[in-house]
DNA sequence: GTGTCTATTGACGCAGTGTCAATAACGGAG
DNA sequence: CTCCGTTATTGACACTGCGTCAATAGACAC
């Protein structure tokens, strides 16, 4: 007799299935992503993630310390993306002048928005988890958001220095305000299963706030 | 013999203390405020709040359904303040022109910042709790933040109509972005026990973003 | 003093967590 | 094909914090 088994299919009663550790870990991460695309972080119990893997709840703890470590692992890679898409503007030379600076910034914002469009549910989960757990807060708020803020502040400082942006701008504070706005606004737009709003209006609005603040008149 | 008892002092072994329901409720609310001025919401257990009242943990449930109802009650009153201080700008007539609109907006932002300076720890707790509990999310995100957004959007729409703000502004989206920014930025600045930053820089930054976005050129 | 009302609490069951010793699937050696 | 060591997996346990309820005991009226 031959018994054909497909991936994830349960076996005859009373038998287990054994995977390579790396494979199980990836399965758990995938299960978490899948769960978060349907439910908010507050509903993510270890049990409900493991139900999507065919493994038991205790197996989870062989791979992750707790669900906070799990979401932290989901952030890996995504965080880097946010820097990557912004790099051209972040490290750019303000010598290019207002018009070109604004154009490059526009590209960076478009890239950021695309990242949120793709990974919105995970980013929303991390942002939520940051208020649940000190270590997630460390990684997200201080490791990612704050690092982005510092990079943006440095660029703003150079713009002020070059006379492209008005001199009464406080780079560190302005950067913080703009980064916070972008984070919250994009999570709101793309972080929920249901309500995805008009892409053009979202980008147009972000561009307007950033560009008028940095490259508008001193009014 | 006379025994002098001060408020909150424990009595002889084995005796209880009985208060008027209203008094007990106020004591619990005060204990929660006090706790939140020292610890983040994630550490607020029913037990640790009740420890500050001299009452037992189960007594809590005679007054509140759970800790989420507790923080919701803490928001009452504060939410109204945020509307009150912004009222002059929110209901104002854009016929006054850019300069005066900007001046009134500046006042509104100052008022909002003062509210956060005073109630920062509670507002931070509510904002955190909103990701823990659906009902808090309802009250805070949709009841307060969204209502503010709608009011701001209405004012922006009038500004656009009057030609005070540029015509390519999307009122609803712009309002959302600005309100989110202000909320997160002020919670960051005033919501933690430790780090209160320079008041002037904070206000100057908020003003700049709002005013350049709404009353700056169309750039 | 006696009785009534109700604020208060000890004790319970529950949900979800994190751990560990025992189990059994896999893979290599013979 | 069989044996055997490694280790992925899990049943069962203890623990934390929650929400409930019947029983207890202050306060006040008479």
What are the sequence ranges of the domains in chain B?
Answer: 21-64, 75-215
Which chain D positions come under 7 Å from a protein C-beta?
A: 7-12, 17-21, 25-27
- Average confidence (pLDDT) over A78-92: 92
The protein side of the strand D contact, defined by CB less than 7 Å from any of its atoms, consists of A 16-21, 24, 55-56, 58-59, 61-62; B 14-18, 45-47, 57-58, 61, 65-67
3-state secondary structure of B200: helix
Question: What is the pLDDT at residue B219?
Answer: 40
Superfamily of domain A21-64: Homeodomain-like (1.10.10.60)
- Taking CA–CA distances from B129, the nearest residue in chain A reads A131
Q: Give helix A199-215 / helix B199-215 axis angle, nearest 10°.
A: 120
- Say yes or no to pLDDT of B99 above 50: yes
Judge whether B7 and B53 are in contact, CB under 8 Å.
no
Level-2 CATH architecture, domain A72-215: Orthogonal Bundle (1.10)
Counted residue by residue, chain B has a size of 219
Question: CA A125, A126, A132, A134: dihedral to nearest 10 degrees?
Answer: 170
Q: Between A2 and A86, where is the model more confident?
A: A86
What pLDDT score was predicted for residue A7? 37
Q: From the Cβ of A11, is strand C under 7 Å away? A: no
Interface check A133 vs B, CB under 8 A: yes
Per-residue pLDDT for A58 more than 90? Answer: yes
Check residue A14 and give its pLDDT: 56
Q: Above 50 in pLDDT, residue A1?
A: no
Could you tell me if B159 lies within 8 Å of chain A, comparing CB atoms? no
Nearest to B174 among A42, A174, A205 (CB): A205
Q: Which carries the bigger pLDDT value, residue A126 or residue A14? A: A126
Calculate what percentage of chain A has a pLDDT beyond 70: 91
Instruction: Give the burial string for A70-87 (b: 16+ CB within 10 Å, else e).
Output: bbbebbeebbeebeebbe
Chain A interface includes B128 (CB < 8 A): yes
Pick from A127, A128, A181: CB nearest B177: A181
By CA distance, what is B40's nearest residue in A? A131
Q: Is the predicted pLDDT of residue A219 greater than 50, yes or no? A: no
CATH superfamily of B75-215: Tetracycline Repressor, domain 2 (1.10.357.10)
Cα B12 to chain centroid distance, Å, stands at 41
pLDDT (0 to 100) of residue B14 = 56
Please name the member of B132, B169, B181 whose beta carbon is closest to the beta carbon of A181: B181
- Whole-number pLDDT of residue A147: 96
Residue spans of beta strands (DSSP E) within chain B: none
Q: HSE on the CB side for A128, CA within 13 Å? A: 26
Contact (Cβ atoms closer than 8 angstroms) between residue B91 and residue B104: no
Say how far residue B13 (Cα) sits from the centre of its chain.
41
Check residue B6 and give its pLDDT. Answer: 36
Q: Any CB–CB contact under 8 A between A55 and chain B?
A: no
Give contacts of A 96-115 with B, CB under 8 A.
102
Over range A61-71, report the average pLDDT. 98
- B213 neighbors B100 (Cβ within 8 angstroms): no
The 10 Å Cβ neighbour count of residue B161 is 12
Chain A residues near residue B177 by CB distance under 8 angstroms = 181, 185, 205-206, 209
Average pLDDT over residues B71-85: 93
In angstroms, what separates the C-alpha of B15 from chain A's closest C-alpha? Answer: 38
Tokens of A121: 């549910």
- Backbone conformation region of residue A17, classed left if phi is above 0, alpha if psi is from -120 to 50, else beta: beta
Residue B193: the pLDDT is 80
Report the C-alpha gap between A104 and B168 in whole angstroms: 21
> What tokens were used for A206?
């972000």
Residue A210 corresponds to which tokens in the numbers above? 């950033």
Contacts of B54 (CB under 8 A, 6+ apart): B8, B10, B17
* Per-residue pLDDT, A19: 87
Structure-token pair, residue B83: 């509307």
Mean pLDDT of the B167-191 span: 97
Is the pLDDT confidence value at B195 over 80?
Answer: no
What local confidence, expressed as pLDDT, does residue A217 receive? 62
The answer to whether B126 touches B69, Cβ cutoff 8 Å, is no
**What is the average pLDDT value for chain A, to the nearest integer?**
91
pLDDT of A181-212, one tens digit each?
Answer: 999 999 999 998 876 789 999 999 999 999 99
Q: Do the Cβ atoms of B124 and B196 come closer than 8 Å?
A: no
- The average pLDDT across A11-22 equals 71
pLDDT: is A98 or B127 the higher one? B127
Residue B5: its pLDDT value, please? 35
Using a CB–CB cutoff of 8 Å, tell me whether B188 touches chain A: yes
Residue B212 has pLDDT above 60, yes or no: yes
Nearest to B44 by CA among B11, B70, B80, B20: B70
Please give the residue that has the higher pLDDT: either A16 or A166: A166
Q: What is the pLDDT of residue B95?
A: 84
Q: Taking each helix axis as running N to C, give the angle between helix A171-190 and helix B171-190, from 0 to 180 degrees, rounded to the nearest 10.
A: 120
CA of B44 to C1' of D27 (A): 32
B102: tokens are 């900007």
Identical fold for domains A21-64 and A72-215, yes or no, is no
């Amino acid at each position: 007799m031959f018994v054909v088994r497909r991936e994830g299919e349960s076996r005859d009663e009373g038998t287990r299935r054994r995977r390579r550790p790396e494979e199980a870990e990836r399965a758990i991460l995938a299960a978490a992503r899948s769960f978060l695309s349907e439910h908010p972080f507050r509903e993510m119990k270890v049990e409900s993630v493991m139900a999507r893997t065919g493994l038991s709840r205790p197996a989870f703890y062989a791979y992750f310390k707790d669900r906070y470590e799990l979401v932290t692992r989901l952030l890996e890679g995504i965080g880097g993306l946010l820097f990557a898409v912004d790099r051209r503007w972040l490290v750019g030379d303000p010598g290019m002048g207002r018009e070109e600076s604004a154009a490059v910034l526009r590209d960076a914002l478009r890239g950021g928005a695309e990242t949120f469009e793709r990974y919105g549910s995970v980013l929303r989960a991390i942002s939520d988890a940051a208020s649940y757990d000190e270590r997630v807060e460390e990684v997200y708020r201080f490791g990612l958001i704050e690092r982005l803020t510092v990079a943006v502040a440095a660029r703003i400082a150079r713009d002020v220095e070059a006379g492209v942006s008005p001199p009464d701008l406080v780079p560190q504070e302005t950067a913080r305000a703009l980064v916070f706005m972008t984070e919250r606004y994009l999570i709101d737009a793309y972080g929920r299963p249901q309500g995805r709003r008009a892409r053009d209006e979202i980008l147009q609005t972000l561009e307007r706030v950033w560009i008028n603040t940095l490259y508008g008149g001193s009014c």
